[in-house]
Structure 1
Amino acid sequence: MRRVWLAGLAGMVLAGGWSGTALAASPVNVPSAAQIAKVMHSYRERGVPGETYTPSLNSLTTTPTPSGHGMDAAVIGGRFPTADGYGQLVFFFDDGRFVGLNSPDEAVAVEKLSAAGPGAFRVTYASYTPHDALDDPTLSPVTITYHVQATGVAASKPLGPTVHDHLGVAQREVAASRHTIQQAVARFREAGVAHETYHPLWNTLLTLPGSGNQVITALTAVRWPTADGYGQVVFFFDGNRFVGLNSPFEASAILRVARAGESRVRITYANYTPDDALDDPTLKPVTITYTVRATGVISSAPLPAGVKNGLRAVLTSGPDR
């Protein structure tokens, strides 16, 4: 039985996901762990929105660019979540910028990734007959050389049918940019109070798979200026486009925003009697699920009276979406 290079990926999976700490601090012109993870998470297995890719531990490989003035890098990404560690791609970077994949199809397993001179990498793949077990490929390994340039990646030959697992990959649309979020939030104000707008709470930023290739983004914003932090709304984005709020009414306080499946977000609100202090709601919290579409946001229920603070968020300019 010949071993394939799954040890790093298996360790990552058993740990419950890659933390970004396994890759050493990046020198100049080499992508950081965060950059690598962001690129990999922007891809999914075609037709399976919930499956994306995550870096295989310790697979980051570098080589000088042909000019000698920069660095090229290659990293193995494994399908995630996974029960067996199979289904892999190689992600290539030129001077810190992602430039392409080894193939639009997953390989079952990468046995070795190595530098092959300036701007070049050599990838060796496990090769299977139709009857081979995943952990016991019986055909001779296949080695392909990749040349990395600023304009893309050139392979010495394509993946053959004995190497790939017949699963394609598709790139997700990127999540909403910080600029898009800031623009959307800035367009709203508290009704009747011209000088009060909203401020993004960046630590609440949540992304999740949407329909097709889209990424859904949800972010809580608080009335601004504020002395107490109460008066909140949630902004939803489909891809890089604002599509709506959780409600035209402010909630006094949002306790939790969580993923609830593809295109769905679950929000839990503090719930008050008329006599409750803002920091001491006595009613049971209320949870509402929101489905985010390109055409808008659909809520499973309206905000109840005990959640709303009686103030509305209104557009100051521009279209509704």
Structure 2
Amino acid sequence: MRSYMPLATLFLIYAVMIAIGQGIQGMWQPIMLVIFYIAIGQALNIFLGMTGYVNFGYVALLGVGAYGMAVALGYYTDLGLVPALIFGFFLAVLLAFIVSMLVGGIALRLRGAYFAIATIGVNEGIKYLILGGKIWGGSSGIVLSGILRKAYGAETMRFLSTVFADAGLIAVAILSGVITMYILNSRLGYGLIALREDEDAAKVMGINVRRYKQIAFVISCILAGLIGATAWTLKLTYVFPQDVFAINYTVEAIVIVMLGGAGTLLGPVVGGLIYALLKYYLSIAFPGMQLLILAPLLIVVILLFPEGVVGYLAKAARGTKFEKFVR
């Protein structure tokens, strides 16, 4: 059980954030913004952090997950609320799985920068397929607020877009952390770390690197799809392709992973906290100039902690009683 002790730190951080959000007036939405950034960082970290491969098509999986839930709630309200929600989560997972298998099966044959370049077009390709083919409403997207209000009532719609959506996002974030911890302590995790350090050497040692990369890629993509279904569709009650496929979410997730510490359990949590709080409060204090101030601050943090903040803390905690709680 010692190897799973960092989960206690993870659960404590979430408990404190939720307590702050519930206990201080006006803090719930900023806390949920933090948890959203933590969640996208955790999902990406399972692939980027453990393999070293940069997936620039990551936001496409958020998008297809969001569309999976939107299709279920928008087109199948006659099923009833609970079956439609179950069907929505199923579609989100299924679409993310299909896309990840197709993209991974092709792109993961490439390595390093070539893989990153290959994934750049995935997001734009799916977006313009929906726009050009007028799939699921095309550029008009799927607007759920009126549909949900008519089918289930205004109170139920508000519950879905507030309590249920927030609880769903928290659940996905916690699930991502638990899966990360399990992978880090499993044969899969050791294989992924080996190929991250030296892929050719890992092959020589008998590790099926392509299979391991595919597994990590699919898990990361499915979690991203669930985040899209909860934090986007259920929370906002609409899906527009121009918004849900915005590549800035991929860039932000990469920054969060590198900032906190790639390949660690707590890295995306710390990175998400730093990034989200800086972005939120800088936009309040310096509206219109927040990005100009945020970028150099992030660069300074990364220069001070090249292995990420959690990487630095893990080194500092070695040989102390706190070592088992930081990873």
TM-score of the two chains, using structure 1 as the length reference: 0.23
Give the helix-richer structure, 1 or 2. 2
- Quick check: which has more Rg, 1 or 2? 1
Q: Which has the higher contact order (CA 8 A, sep 6+)?
A: 2
Give the strand-richer structure, 1 or 2. 1
TM-score of the two chains, using structure 2 as the length reference: 0.23
